[in-house]
Amino acid sequence: MNSFELNKILGAVLATCLILLALSIGAGALFTPEKPAKPGYAIAVKETGAGGKPAAGEPEKPIAVLLASASVEKGAAAAKQCASCHTFEKGGPNRVGPNLYDIVGHERGTGRGGFNFSAAMKAKGGEWTYDELNKFLKDPRGYIPGTAMTFAGLSRDSQRADVIAYLRSLSDSPKPLPTAADAGAAAAPAEGTKPAEGAAKPAEAPKK
């Protein structure tokens, strides 16, 4: 092999190396991630207000208001996810959970064809009012600790209202819907209670 051919081979190798180097530099400039100003990982935390308490969001609407625009059809569709544990037809059998026909207004933890309720459900007592159903469906284990119901709950208030409207329809005599006045009565102070400390006293009539 003469020197001319050797120079051609060396030149081709050198040109290839230069091209690869240029491509490497260009790729690094395009795809190198931007370094953060402060090293570490970003951790998402809940917004907090004064005193470290969670920042207040929109106030939750009363169930009476939500039921006014609730859809029985949407509730029936949403309730399909409960069909593996509950039945909904009149006289239907109990499964992992009790039959839910005519559940609105029913005494909690009793009846339902002899279903074996948890001790926590029996101890809670009371009726399944619209408000009670709303609280329970939002967070079953949070509202009744110790309940055997493993369902995580329905976080959307409109969806809970739809499901409750559907449960209300499962009855020979559906219970009357709550009114906005009922919701206001729950928030009003009971008659005969003392006003909050620091509250302004009503003005007295001028003495004659």
Using CA atoms, how far apart are residues 98 and 208, in angstroms rounded to an integer? Answer: 69
Query: Model confidence over 27-63: pLDDT tens digits?
Result: 666 655 555 555 544 444 444 444 434 445 556 789 9
Query: Model confidence over 144-156: pLDDT tens digits?
Result: 999 999 899 999 9
Residue at token pair 């935390």: 45
124: part of which helix (H) or strand (E)? helix 119-124
* Higher local confidence (pLDDT), 179 or 151: 151
Task: Give the predicted TM-score (pTM) of the model.
Answer: 0.61
CA-based end-to-end distance of the chain: 132
**3-class secondary-structure state, position 143:** helix
Using CA atoms, how far apart are residues 153 and 145, in angstroms rounded to an integer? Answer: 13
- Residue from 132, 139, 128, 207 nearest 170 by CA: 128
Structural domains present in the chain: 63-186 (1.10.760.10)
User: Which pair of structure tokens corresponds to residue 208?
Assistant: 């004659």
